[in-house]
Structure 1
Amino acid sequence: SDSEEQKPGYWMNKEFLVKGSGKNKQEIACFIKAPATVLENLKCNILNETSSLVVDDSEELVSNIISIECYDYEKLFFPINIAIPFASCFRGNYREIMVKVTDTNFQSNYLTPISLQGYQGNHKESFAEVKIYHLGVFSVLSCLKKETFTVPKAGLLQKLSVDPRISFCYHPGAFGSPAPMQLKIQPIEPSLISALKSRHDMYYSVISTSALVHVQHPSAQPFNSSVTITLPCPPNPEKKRQGDETEHARAISATVKRVAAAYHPRAVSTSVRKTGENLSDTLKLLGRGNKEEGWKVFDDVIIQNAQNGLVSFELNEHLESFVVIRLSFLLENTYLLLFAQALEEALCSTMANVILYQKRENPYKIVVLLSASKELTNELQNLHEEGYFGPPEPTQQFSLREGEQIHFRFRGNISASENGEDFGKTYRLIFHSQRRPRLELQIKEVDEFGNHSSPHYKGTAVFYKITREMITKKWEQTLPYNEYQHQSPLCKLALTLPKHEKLVNRPRSTKRIFSDSSEALWDNLLFWLAEELAEDNTSLFALCLPVRRSVLQLVRLKCPDNLTHQIYELLCCWEKTLPRSADKQQLLSRYLQKSGRSDLAEELRLKCQNKAFT
């Protein structure tokens, strides 16, 4: 062990708990391994509201944001070990798990975990463990894997571990002294190219691209000779298909020629155009020296096709980023540059939707969450299993970068609260592609006498997109109350609440008085009638009872899976609206006849006549 670890004191592994979110009363912030005297001097907090400030493009947050502070720096000894729980989807060879440390001035560095073990104490989940020498704000990220190597004066052929098909061949004397290199490979999915082509017709000629290659050249030595770069750029699938068809066409053509030669000798000299003869791909290199320079098309670089979809070319200057594009026909450089910009933006973005669902059993409880569009079906299924349903339906999809925020407020006659007390606030969801931003809220009507011409209370949730550039760099992140008047909403979702029946307290002398026996008999009669109607799957609308739509909606929400109970509740609600002098049996028989159930109307009359209510 390190000499620093020999400080006096017994080393312990301590679990730090913080107040949880949602249904969890507490959750694990991290485990810290240090001398007991040091552990007593440390405190942890979760700062997830600052997550927009600690992620960059191509990084994906997979943990909580953990702040570790101490009460007394004189009692603090380094190094200490911290283990942060995280959850990450499998991302293949191109990505790796790193721990990012951010100081109070938002300066960051990255630590490679010494362990990604699945256990800490009695807890089984993934933990990223690192050795630290100073405190700060810690987060676990999924990052593009960095490949580091040094090019000697004698030259080097470097095949990358993330994809051995990608190689850099530095010839002898390429640099005057050993030159360190750092590379990151960002793969580009064919579906991303298809999405860009579907949105913009001008990109129709793009067939495929190579991965986007990022290179850091710290020594900034000039190239004495060119470097040969080889990387995959998928061939035109149409060309391969037509090539196979060409072989088939040749066989048919040979047969036709033999037959034609026997009857029409002149026909043999007729030339047959080969299928796919006009298919000739064009390869273009696009790159940039740095972000400030912008993208550039390198028309003078000759790119050669190699076997198995590989391409190679010579490069004699340093490029910070570059990509090879395969075209079915030539495209103007202006459009190529626009495509490169759109591609880079799309690589850093994810298509997402906002979902706002209400609890079926309690429409005053809602859930609002951000979901990646590709996960939308699974998210909706999970919400249905929890008892949440629409309307409203999810919003149209829109693009979000990692760490961008969605702020929303409620307008109209509906407001919301997290704790059931503070209504009318602004709420925030921060997008992270590997996490599930979610808020559970309570809603209520603002004015119980509002929307008087409607059977529902009506309101709208208005959503605004906040980019990372719009967020002030400070650790205390407060939500603005009314700063969106100059910003167009990203989207809106309308929602309703059923109006509840108001109980009117009448003077004692006007209250209806029933004998217990007659009230119980009538109640039994209503339940018998509900059972008879439910056997024939009679809908609530088919009963033709003069009740408001809000009553029908309330009855469905109260008894979602039992038609008998729905009809019984509806009959009870209808009965409560009748005046004291009304003949309930006669009215109910009339509605049954109107609904096409004369048989039940007659049976109801007989039961009332004989007082056979059971």
Structure 2
Amino acid sequence: DSEEVQKSRHWMNKEFFFKESGKNKHELACFIKAPVTVLENLKCRILNDVSSLVVNDSEELVSNVISIECSDYEEILFPINIMIPFTSCFRGNYREIMVKVTDVNFQSNYLTPISLEGYQGNHKESFAEVKIYHLGVFSVLSCLKKETFTVPKVGLSQKLSMDSRISFCYHPETFSSPAPMQLKIQPIEPSLVSALKARHDMYHSVISTSALVHVQHPSAQPFNSSVTITLPCPPNPEKKRQGDETQHARAISATVKRIASTYHPWAVNSSVRKNGENLSDILKLLGHRNKEEGWKVFDDVVIQNAQNGLVSFELREHLECFAVIRLSFLLENTYLLLFAQALEEALCSTMANVVLYRKKENPHKIVVLLSASKELTYELQNLHEEGYFGPPEPMQQFPLREGEQIHFRFSGNIFASENGKEFGKVYRLIFHSQRKPRLELQIKEVDEFGNHSSPHYKGTAVFYKITREMITKKWEQPLPFGEYQHQSPLCKLALTLPKHEKPINRPQSMKRISSDSSEALWDNLLFWLAEELAEENTSLLALCLPVRQSMLQLVRLKCPDNLTHQIYELLCCWKKSLPRSADKQQLLSRYLQKSGRSDLSEELRLKWQNKVFT
């Protein structure tokens, strides 16, 4: 008993490791600091397959999803400390790292980390350390930073710590009793507004927007007086005129509005503002009192321009969410509401691409990657360094929310496997903007005698988008099979596999015996010719060889980044297609002349006559 008492008093750190599918090495799942008797009963599991269920909009997963369980729960002496490794690419002033704890019923709460750094061996790493009082499923998230303050009866002027340009001024007696407030600021990138304007001409009038402000008012007390809110809303750079240009700008603005109202039904004439900095800009407040009620335009709220791109206005009621929009000419409220909805959806989404590349040295090995579009160039460069290349080319970008899934399967005469044994499954990639979901698979032909008229086997990778609403809330997430017939594919990527010539065992008497070394000499000659042609960046099509289009695709697939090898492979394929009695030198000289390379045609003739093939 005394030994058990000593163990319960003695605390120590224990590392928990896991082995990722398809990889040989073990990776660190977490550290747990607890009494020895507790550590002996704890188990740690990785639940990345259910990561879709632990994130909400505006949250970004930056760690593995970890389940910590105990075989003897009653013996645990809480609290205990856990440290979870994470990788966060970008946080900024508006985001913070939190640990989310989810129970078996998918009820969650958030823990503020004690520390965000720790040591693994001698290396300092990013770890989120929290003190926990119960077990569950843990994940490290990048969340919008929450700022909390209480408004007393005497009023309060509050500048936000995350952005001092944003302020809330509560006048005395705004509330009858102290009222706690919680605020989150969601910045809106100008590039996002530009993308919406590019896709929809009706939003052409939008110049800029403020950040999206989320407010929680738990006490729900009515406002006895208005609140003065100041926000940054970037001015129109094209409207910064002074002095003699003022009248000229007014004339242009009036002309633009006349033209707009003629050709665009959503444009409405408005009076020109007499402000030298923002001559005809119109400011509108959009928001909603609650999610169910939806967006509304508050026309009765007067918004004033302040210095340095700030705007201010008085608000007489609680809004859960709002933003200010700057317009060059007035839009009908219908289109403003459509813009607000489109903006809210775009803020919750990231443009992404699916990449399917194959190993250059081994076309049977492929990688399937889900990448944010803004990082696509960087990811493709990394894949090239690992030896992976196309075709097929990455599919066109499409929007994905955090936690949404891409399911894919293979059809045609090609199927895939993760372990080289189980083929024909459905595969899943879960999108998290700060993680790099990827799968390395082996592909092979279904029927070795299929595609008999083609030099390669053909198949298709079919991809489907699975939204969070389509995912059932269960801790076990088996992949469906054959349940996509009622769903349109997100995209299809064509795949090919080169066929390999099988050796034929002939009797010794039937084996061909070469009377000279002409085959080896021809190989040297063709390689010399390929090098000469590659120096001039000669395209495969420019060679005018009578080969099929599929043959051109095959050699590009075998040698994706080496033109010399491509030309050499094509010449060899052409030579193999000729009968033994054909005059190869004469035919090749003719094609070179036809391709505009008479110089090489003459040099080829001389080398053939002199038997000099280097």
The answer for the alignment partner of 2:134 in structure 1 is: 134
Task: Tell me the distance in 2 between the aligned counterparts of 1:569 and 1:246.
Answer: 67
The answer for the alignment partner of 1:318 in structure 2 is: 318
Task: Tell me the distance in 2 between the aligned counterparts of 1:545 and 1:167.
Answer: 73
Task: Tell me the distance in 1 between the aligned counterparts of 2:396 and 2:234.
Answer: 32
Write out per-residue CA displacement over residues 512-540 of structure 1, whole angstroms, 9 at most, x where no aligned residue.
245xxx67x44652454245424523677
Task: Tell me the distance in 2 between the aligned counterparts of 1:91 and 1:163.
Answer: 14
Q: Given the superposition, is the C-alpha separation of residues 140 and 590 from structure 1 closer, same or farther in structure 2, using an over 3 Å criterion?
A: same
Structure with the greater alpha carbon radius of gyration: 1
Task: In structure 2, give the amino acid aligned to 1:341.
Answer: Q
Q: Given the superposition, is the C-alpha separation of residues 399 and 245 from structure 1 closer, same or farther in structure 2, using an over 3 Å criterion?
A: farther
Task: In structure 2, give the amino acid aligned to 1:593.
Answer: S
- Residue 67 of structure 1 aligns to a residue whose secondary structure is strand
Q: Given the superposition, is the C-alpha separation of residues 455 and 75 from structure 1 closer, same or farther in structure 2, using an over 3 Å criterion?
A: same
The answer for the alignment partner of 2:268 in structure 1 is: none
Q: Given the superposition, is the C-alpha separation of residues 587 and 220 from structure 1 closer, same or farther in structure 2, using an over 3 Å criterion?
A: same
Alignment of 1:127-526 (within 5 A): 127-240=127-240, 242-243=241-242, 246=245, 279-513=279-513, 521-522=517-518, 524-526=520-522
Q: How far 1:165 moved relative to its partner?
A: 1.0
The answer for the alignment partner of 1:593 in structure 2 is: 589
- Residues 8, 36 of structure 2: 8 Å contact kept: no
Q: Given the superposition, is the C-alpha separation of residues 512 and 297 from structure 1 closer, same or farther in structure 2, using an over 3 Å criterion?
A: same
Task: Tell me the distance in 1 between the aligned counterparts of 2:105 and 2:494.
Answer: 42
Q: How far 1:447 moved relative to its partner?
A: 2.3
- Residues 575, 584 of structure 2: 8 Å contact kept: no
Q: Given the superposition, is the C-alpha separation of residues 100 and 570 from structure 1 closer, same or farther in structure 2, using an over 3 Å criterion?
A: same
The answer for the alignment partner of 1:86 in structure 2 is: 86
- Residues 499, 550 of structure 1: 8 Å contact kept: no
Task: Tell me the distance in 2 between the aligned counterparts of 1:6 and 1:81.
Answer: 19
Q: How far 1:192 moved relative to its partner?
A: 0.9
Task: Tell me the distance in 1 between the aligned counterparts of 2:421 and 2:43.
Answer: 30
Identity %: 80
Write out per-residue CA displacement over residues 355-400 of structure 1, whole angstroms, 9 at most, x where no aligned residue.
1112222222211111111111111111122222222211111111
- Residue 280 of structure 1 aligns to a residue whose secondary structure is coil
Gaps of 5+ in 2: 250-273, 593-600
- Residue 325 of structure 1 aligns to a residue whose secondary structure is strand
Q: Given the superposition, is the C-alpha separation of residues 187 and 41 from structure 1 closer, same or farther in structure 2, using an over 3 Å criterion?
A: same
The answer for the alignment partner of 1:72 in structure 2 is: 72
- Residues 183, 216 of structure 2: 8 Å contact kept: yes
Q: How far 1:20 moved relative to its partner?
A: 2.2
Q: How far 1:140 moved relative to its partner?
A: 0.6
- Residues 8, 37 of structure 2: 8 Å contact kept: no
- Name the stretch that deviates more: 190-199 or 533-542: 533-542
- Name the stretch that deviates more: 298-307 or 44-53: 298-307
- Residues 415, 445 of structure 1: 8 Å contact kept: yes
Q: Given the superposition, is the C-alpha separation of residues 6 and 37 from structure 1 closer, same or farther in structure 2, using an over 3 Å criterion?
A: closer
Q: Given the superposition, is the C-alpha separation of residues 599 and 170 from structure 1 closer, same or farther in structure 2, using an over 3 Å criterion?
A: closer
- Residues 589, 605 of structure 1: 8 Å contact kept: no
Task: Tell me the distance in 1 between the aligned counterparts of 2:94 and 2:485.
Answer: 42
TM-score by length of 1: 0.86
Q: How far 1:90 moved relative to its partner?
A: 2.4
Q: How far 1:406 moved relative to its partner?
A: 0.8
Task: Tell me the distance in 2 between the aligned counterparts of 1:245 and 1:362.
Answer: 70
The answer for the alignment partner of 1:42 in structure 2 is: 42
Q: Given the superposition, is the C-alpha separation of residues 278 and 316 from structure 1 closer, same or farther in structure 2, using an over 3 Å criterion?
A: closer
TM-score by length of 2: 0.86
2:99 corresponds to 1:99: yes
- Residue 92 of structure 1 aligns to a residue whose secondary structure is coil
Q: How far 1:509 moved relative to its partner?
A: 3.5
Task: Tell me the distance in 2 between the aligned counterparts of 1:20 and 1:359.
Answer: 21
Q: How far 1:485 moved relative to its partner?
A: 1.0
The answer for the alignment partner of 1:18 in structure 2 is: 18
Task: Tell me the distance in 1 between the aligned counterparts of 2:559 and 2:224.
Answer: 80
- Name the stretch that deviates more: 413-422 or 560-569: 560-569
- Residue 477 of structure 2 aligns to a residue whose secondary structure is coil
Task: Tell me the distance in 2 between the aligned counterparts of 1:279 and 1:613.
Answer: 78
Q: How far 1:44 moved relative to its partner?
A: 0.9
- Residue 128 of structure 1 aligns to a residue whose secondary structure is strand
Task: Tell me the distance in 1 between the aligned counterparts of 2:524 and 2:608.
Answer: 10
- Name the stretch that deviates more: 472-481 or 441-450: 441-450
Task: Tell me the distance in 1 between the aligned counterparts of 2:313 and 2:542.
Answer: 75
Task: In structure 2, give the amino acid aligned to 1:37.
Answer: T
- Residues 96, 144 of structure 1: 8 Å contact kept: yes
Task: Tell me the distance in 1 between the aligned counterparts of 2:463 and 2:75.
Answer: 48
Q: Given the superposition, is the C-alpha separation of residues 555 and 507 from structure 1 closer, same or farther in structure 2, using an over 3 Å criterion?
A: farther
The answer for the alignment partner of 2:267 in structure 1 is: none
Q: How far 1:170 moved relative to its partner?
A: 1.0
Task: In structure 1, give the amino acid aligned to 2:533.
Answer: N
Task: In structure 2, give the amino acid aligned to 1:467.
Answer: T
Task: Tell me the distance in 1 between the aligned counterparts of 2:351 and 2:151.
Answer: 40
What is the number of residues matched between the two proteins?
Answer: 574
Q: Given the superposition, is the C-alpha separation of residues 501 and 227 from structure 1 closer, same or farther in structure 2, using an over 3 Å criterion?
A: same
- Residues 41, 72 of structure 2: 8 Å contact kept: yes
Q: Given the superposition, is the C-alpha separation of residues 389 and 568 from structure 1 closer, same or farther in structure 2, using an over 3 Å criterion?
A: closer
Gaps of 5+ in 1: 251-273
Q: How far 1:600 moved relative to its partner?
A: 3.6
